[in-house]
Amino acid sequence: MQAALTGHLVLSTFHTNDALGTIPRLLDLNLDASVLADALIGVVSQRLVRCLCEVCRQPPWLAVEEEFQRITGELPAYRPVGCEQCGYTGYHGRLPIIEYVEMTAGLRQALLNGGRSLATLKEAVVGHRRSMAASAKAWIVSGMTTPQEVQQVLGVKFWAELAEEHGKPAGLLNFDVGSNNQADRRMKVLLLSTDAELAARLGAALTYGVARVDDEKAAVAYIEQHGDVIALVLDSGLCAGPFEDWMLGLRTALASSGLPGLFVLREGTQAFQTLLDNYGGQHIGIEEVPTDALAAAVNRLLQGIH
């Protein structure tokens, strides 16, 4: 940033889940907001997806493609089939889906005013940001890749972002994009807990995969290494001090991931429940985990319903 302020064009890499998440992450590293507002030109992020094989691709007809049409009003051009040319995978080669965020006068003012939430930053870059979902949609409609392939790379976040941008409610959230011997490719709910039994109960109650980590530091590492996390489930049993301090630590570590969170409350956490209610945090009691209430809560979480 010091070099950029002197007029040099500085290119650097940074680990975040998306381009917009770079800004709160830099602020979390104690970078001065005024320096960031003056030095940053823009942020670009990309993911690679497989290209459809042009020899064997065919027009679409799957449910996942119908959902894409419901949201966007357009059908994917083709679906994968498989032939000798592509090794019977339906895909050949790769292409990038790219997200970008430009520094704008509105974003600069938001930073100087202390804005750092993703909602505030997103509003400040309207018209100067292209999402992964928008980039992926262009490739899908042009016949270069498929919704299934994009979901495997971006997760259910792709559908949520696509629905938001088109003003439609999110629909189905866990399309079966793999076969039985690829169950580990399901979208994952990441559980922050030392309780292996709780992880097993979550896994039995949800159609999503469940991965467990011991704390927020391990969660950050997992999220940075995997592209399949769609939501966080946080065990209140991890809290060893004041709930406010624990939540501040969680926010500092995990807010830039942009993932929604559901708290599982154990006995004796009435004060924490009141705190969550005051801030609109979603939660269920641990006794509800083996019931239909868990799946309903996770689906509400993924659809942004409070």
CATH number of the CATH domain containing 67: 3.40.50.300
Predicted confidence (pLDDT) at residue 54 exceeds the cutoff of 50: yes
Highest mean pLDDT among 93-97, 127-131, 282-286: 93-97
Q: 265 and 294 share a domain?
A: yes
Give me the mean pLDDT over the 241-248 stretch: 87
Which among 90, 73, 88, 92 has a CA at the least distance from the CA of 141? Answer: 73
User: Which is it for the CA torsion 16, 280, 265, 248, positive or negative?
Assistant: positive
Q: How far is Cα 107 from Cα 127, in angstroms, rounded to an integer?
A: 12
Burial 259-275 (b: 16+ CB within 10 A, else e): bbbbbbbeeebeebbeb
- Residue linked to tokens 């830099």: 26
Q: How far is Cα 66 from Cα 85, in angstroms, rounded to an integer?
A: 28
Q: 27 and 138 share a domain?
A: yes
Q: 7 and 153 share a domain?
A: yes
**Lowest mean per-residue pLDDT among 58-62, 97-101, 217-221, 287-291:** 58-62
Looking at the structure of the chain, the number of domains it has is 2
Q: How far is Cα 237 from Cα 59, in angstroms, rounded to an integer?
A: 50
Which among 38, 44, 54, 34 has a CA at the least distance from the CA of 12? Answer: 44
Q: What is the pLDDT of residue 171?
A: 62
Q: How far is Cα 150 from Cα 112, in angstroms, rounded to an integer?
A: 36
Q: What is the pLDDT of residue 178?
A: 46
Q: 161 and 214 share a domain?
A: no
DSSP letter for each residue of 76-137: -S-B----TTTTTSSEEEEEEEEEEEE--HHHHHHHHTT--SHHHHHHHTTTSEE-HHHHHH
Q: What is the pLDDT of residue 139?
A: 95
Q: 7 and 152 share a domain?
A: yes
Which residues, other chains included, contact 197 with Cβ-Cβ below 8 Å and sequence gap of 6+? none
Q: Give residue-wise pLDDT tens across range 163-207.
A: 888 988 766 555 554 444 444 556 788 999 999 988 888 888 887
CATH code assigned at 255: 3.40.50.2300
Range of the domain at 229: 182-302
Predicted confidence (pLDDT) at residue 76 exceeds the cutoff of 70: yes
The better pLDDT of the pair 208, 24 is held by 24
Q: How far is Cα 217 from Cα 250, in angstroms, rounded to an integer?
A: 9
CB atoms closer than 10 angstroms to residue 26: 21
Q: What is the pLDDT of residue 173?
A: 54
The better pLDDT of the pair 64, 11 is held by 11
Q: What is the pLDDT of residue 181?
A: 42
Give me the mean pLDDT over the 206-232 stretch: 85
Residue 93's pLDDT band, with cuts at 50, 70 and 90, is very high
Total residue length of the chain: 306
Give me the mean pLDDT over the 215-227 stretch: 85
Q: What is the pLDDT of residue 118?
A: 79
Q: 109 and 258 share a domain?
A: no
Predicted confidence (pLDDT) at residue 306 exceeds the cutoff of 60: no
The better pLDDT of the pair 259, 109 is held by 109
Q: 240 and 147 share a domain?
A: no
In a domain, 175, yes or no: no
Give me the mean pLDDT over the 134-141 stretch: 94
In a domain, 172, yes or no: no
The better pLDDT of the pair 230, 103 is held by 103
Q: Which helix (H) or strand (E) holds 31?
A: none
Q: What's the token pair of residue 63?
A: 């449910």
Q: What is the pLDDT of residue 183?
A: 42
- Give the global pTM: 0.60
